[in-house]
């Protein structure tokens, strides 16, 4: 006899199976949210109610209750997972639907010529405030550069994602086939009705979750295919923003450098005038004021020099940064060729040509070392400068020390004029020291930026150099078809007496034009030839001494190396000399 609980469980399973369709009809009738979002919520409510009913029931055996509740919780987890997949799928579909409008907007913006960046701060704006505005512009440029890097890396990232999606979807389809088989398999007749109903719920929920996962993966794949052109437009817009930001940053840099140079020139002019005034100062303080005026003039000159150095460092940094960009563009072109044609002969020749055009690492490493030394020198000089700035803080004390040398009976008005001049000189001295400190800080920042750019250029160049060296060995330097012909020509020349006659005449002519050089070379050859026997005897003697522990010394190793070099270079050196002079004679 069938119990009421069994009838209820069976009815609940039927309700679980038909609830999505019922919810869809209900949603369409009420014109509410889509059915696929309402059906899971209805199932969740039903499952939670069933779990609560089983928990409160005293008629169901404890083992059956535990197993059924566990299955219902698994079903809830699957439903939650399905909801998550559905949310992601809706996001892909929404972004895909919005892509055409964004593409139209970007195409319209890109078709419009970009505005010419410009800055127009008030003429009285302090340099410190201008530097703050420059720092803000640099931060904005860095953010845009990161955005550009993101869009440049996006195509490769998407290509990898598509491969991963294809593999993932194959696995999802296998899991869906298995879930469908499990769903179609009738329940075990020996299981209690509550357990059978809960197992049926798990199968339904798992099958729908896998279906939603497959739909989401497919939606993501369609989104990736539909937005390829959008990514390219976003990259172009980011490139435009970077170009505008770089021009804006350079405009700030040029303006600040020009202000520095103008301030330094004005300070130098003022210091020169102060030197002239110090020569006419009161005799009691003339020497002290003259020294102070000379110090101010030296500081003004140093400020002017630093202003020029700051501008030069900015130009050097821009030049190195341009080389980095050029190197990256060249690498990108080669990478595209390799991606299209593979490691073909044509690509190999392009790699060889690029290798010849790479920046000279030796030169840039020397520049890098010079930049590091300059930064250390600046930092060392700033230590002494900080002490001088601290010592100049008390202007009033320094003024009293200088004015103490004046005659106490000096007229009050004349004393007041002298005091004003002394304080002006001291304040100018302190301002010059502070300006010098600021200039040193700015110069250090520019040199650090230059060092960073040089280090990146060296690293990128070395990386590209290593890549080329690893991938050009398979490129043939010449065609095999011409090798037999070239070999036959060489043998024919070697056996032809006329060729040797021409060679002898050319070497004779070269000897008359380079008599001193060739005579010295022949003498060296003859000396080494005569000494061959003695050198070999000495080498054997050194070899015998090495076996004696007491007579073994590192100097013997050095001597043996030099003697071996003298023996080994004799005939190769002669052949190199003849070949070198033959080539020089032929080039004439």
Distance between CA 436 and CA 440 in Å, rounded? 6
User: Domain boundary residue among 232, 266, 290?
Assistant: 232
140 shares its domain with 82: yes
Note the pLDDT tens digit of each residue in 409-443. 777 777 787 778 888 888 888 888 888 888 889 89
Higher pLDDT residue, 498 or 69?
69
Does any domain span residue 238?
A: no
98 shares its domain with 72: yes
Does any domain span residue 261?
A: no
Does any domain span residue 170?
A: yes
Which band of pLDDT confidence, cut at 50, 70 and 90, is reported for residue 23? Answer: very low
Domain holding 573, by residue range, is 488-587
Distance between CA 180 and CA 206 in Å, rounded? 9
From the DSSP assignment, how many helices (H) and strands (E) are in the chain? 16, 0
75 shares its domain with 162: yes
pLDDT averaged over the chain? Answer: 81
Range among 175-179, 276-280, 500-504 rated most confident? 175-179
Three-state DSSP class for 323?
helix
User: Domain boundary residue among 232, 263, 290?
Assistant: 232
Range among 94-103, 187-196, 551-560 rated most confident? 94-103
509 shares its domain with 581: yes
Q: What are phi and psi of 582, to 5 degrees?
A: -65, -40
390 shares its domain with 459: yes
Per-residue pLDDT at 581: 67
Note the pLDDT tens digit of each residue in 296-345. 888 888 888 888 898 899 889 989 988 998 888 888 888 777 777 776 77
471 shares its domain with 513: no
> Across residues 523-543, what is the average pLDDT?
84
Token code pair at residue 326: 């050029």
16 shares its domain with 77: yes
Which band of pLDDT confidence, cut at 50, 70 and 90, is reported for residue 270? Answer: confident
Which band of pLDDT confidence, cut at 50, 70 and 90, is reported for residue 17? Answer: very low
Note the pLDDT tens digit of each residue in 112-129. 988 888 888 888 888 888
DSSP 191: S
Which band of pLDDT confidence, cut at 50, 70 and 90, is reported for residue 482? Answer: low
Which band of pLDDT confidence, cut at 50, 70 and 90, is reported for residue 18? Answer: very low
110 shares its domain with 214: yes
- 454 and 371 in contact (C-beta within 8 Å)? yes
285 shares its domain with 213: no
Distances (CA, A) of 287 to 113, 281, 405, 510: 64, 9, 11, 73
Which band of pLDDT confidence, cut at 50, 70 and 90, is reported for residue 226? Answer: very high
Percent of the chain exceeding pLDDT 90 equals 26
Structural domains in the chain (count): 3
Which band of pLDDT confidence, cut at 50, 70 and 90, is reported for residue 217? Answer: very high
Per-residue pLDDT at 491: 82
Note the pLDDT tens digit of each residue in 543-560. 777 665 555 567 778 888
- 296 and 272 in contact (C-beta within 8 Å)? no
Percent of the chain exceeding pLDDT 70 equals 86
Does any domain span residue 271?
A: no
Per-residue pLDDT at 8: 43
pLDDT higher than 90, residue 376: yes
């Amino acid at each position: 006899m069938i119990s009421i609980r069994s009838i209820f469980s069976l009815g609940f399973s039927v309700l679980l199976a038909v609830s999505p369709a019922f919810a869809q009809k209900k949603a369409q009738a009420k014109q509410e949210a889509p059915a696929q979002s309402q059906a899971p919520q209805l199932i969740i409510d039903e499952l939670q109610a069933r779990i609560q009913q089983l928990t409160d029931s005293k008629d169901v055996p404890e083992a059956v209750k535990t197993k059924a509740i566990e299955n219902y919780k698994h079903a809830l987890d699957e439903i939650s997972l399905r909801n998550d997949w559905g949310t992601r799928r809706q996001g892909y579909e929404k972004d895909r639907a919005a892509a055409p409008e964004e593409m139209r907007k970007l195409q319209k913006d890109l078709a419009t010529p970009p505005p010419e960046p410009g800055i127009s701060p008030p003429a009285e704006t302090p340099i410190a405030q201008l530097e703050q505005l420059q720092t803000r512009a640099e931060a904005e440029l860095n953010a845009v550069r990161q955005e550009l890097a993101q869009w440049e890396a996006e195509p490769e990232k998407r290509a990898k994602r598509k491969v991963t999606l294809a593999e993932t979807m194959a696995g999802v389809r296998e899991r869906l086939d298995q879930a469908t088989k499990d769903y179609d398999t009738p329940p075990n007749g020996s299981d209690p009705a509550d357990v059978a109903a809960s197992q049926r719920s798990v199968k339904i929920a798992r099958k729908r979750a896998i279906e939603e996962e497959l739909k989401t993966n497919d939606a993501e794949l369609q989104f990736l295919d539909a937005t390829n052109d959008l990514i390219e437009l976003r990259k172009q817009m980011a490139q435009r923003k970077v170009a505008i930001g770089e021009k804006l940053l350079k405009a700030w840099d040029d303006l600040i450098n020009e202000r520095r140079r103008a301030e330094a020139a004005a300070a130098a002019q003022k210091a020169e005038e102060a030197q002239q005034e110090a020569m006419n100062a009161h005799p009691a303080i003339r020497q002290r004021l003259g020294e102070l005026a000379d110090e101010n003039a030296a500081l003004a000159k140093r400020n002017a020099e630093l202003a020029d150095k700051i501008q030069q460092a900015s130009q050097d940094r821009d030049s190195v940064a341009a080389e980095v960009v050029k190197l990256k563009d060249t690498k990108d072109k080669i990478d595209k060729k390799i991606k299209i044609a593979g490691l073909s002969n044509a690509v190999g020749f392009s790699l060889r040509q690029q290798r010849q055009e790479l920046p000279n690492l030796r030169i840039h490493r020397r520049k890098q070392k010079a930049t590091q030394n300059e930064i250390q020198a600046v930092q060392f000089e700033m230590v002494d400068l900080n002490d001088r700035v601290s010592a100049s803080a008390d202007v009033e004390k320094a003024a009293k020390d200088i004015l103490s040398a004046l005659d106490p009976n000096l007229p009050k008005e004349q004393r007041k004029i002298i005091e004003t001049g002394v304080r002006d000189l001291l304040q100018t001295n302190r301002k010059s020291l502070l300006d010098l400190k600021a200039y040193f800080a700015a110069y250090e920042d520019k040199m650090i930026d230059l060092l960073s750019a040089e280090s990146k250029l060296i690293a990128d160049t070395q990386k590209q150099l290593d890549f080329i060296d690893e991938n050009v060995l398979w490129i043939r330097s010449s065609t095999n078809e011409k090798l037999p012909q070239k070999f036959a020509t060489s043998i024919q020349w070697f056996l032809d007496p006329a060729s040797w006659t021409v060679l002898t005449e050319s070497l004779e002519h070269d000897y008359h034009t380079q008599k001193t050089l060739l005579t010295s070379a022949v003498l060296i050859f003859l000396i080494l030839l005569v000494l061959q026997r003695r050198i070999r005897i000495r080498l054997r003697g050194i070899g015998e001494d090495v076996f004696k522990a007491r007579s073994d010394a590192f100097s013997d190793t050095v001597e043996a190396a030099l003697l071996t070099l003298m023996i080994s270079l004799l005939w190769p050196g002669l052949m190199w000399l003849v070949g070198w002079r033959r080539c020089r004679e032929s080039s004439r």
